[in-house]
Amino acid sequence: MKPLIRHLVEQKRFECTVDGNVAYVEYIERCGTFDIVHTYVPKAVSGRGIASALVAAAYEYADSNNLAKRGSCPYAALWLERNTK
């Protein structure tokens, strides 16, 4: 089941709660670039595709706002490499 992802604009993060655990990605948006700088998923809920869903939602936001995507976070960089044609 895909988690319900919220965009917290003022905190510059996308997050979801799974089994009482909060997972999130944090980003920086500047000069036409959207950069995911941190991805966090608690160990209690890891391995369920939560990080991928969060990163995908964040980059969908970047695409819809015509922002260049960047991944300073190693997970986000790898996700971009694997999911960008």
pTM: 0.94
- pLDDT (0 to 100) of residue 1: 66
Strands 6-8 and 21-30: unpaired
Total structural domains in the chain? 1
- Band (pLDDT 50/70/90 cuts) for residue 3 is confident
The rounded percent of the chain whose pLDDT value lies above 90 is 94
CATH of the domain at 75: 3.40.630.30
Instruction: Examine residue 1 and state whether it is found in any structural domain, yes or no.
Output: no
The mean pLDDT value for 7-23 works out to 97
pLDDT digits (tens, 9 = 90+) for 61-78: 999 999 999 999 999 999
- Residue range(s) defining the domain that contains residue 21: 6-83
- pLDDT (0 to 100) of residue 84: 83
Q: How far apart are the first and last CA of the chain?
A: 26
CB atoms within 10 A of CB 3: 18
Read off φ and ψ for residue 2, nearest 5 degrees.
-75, 130
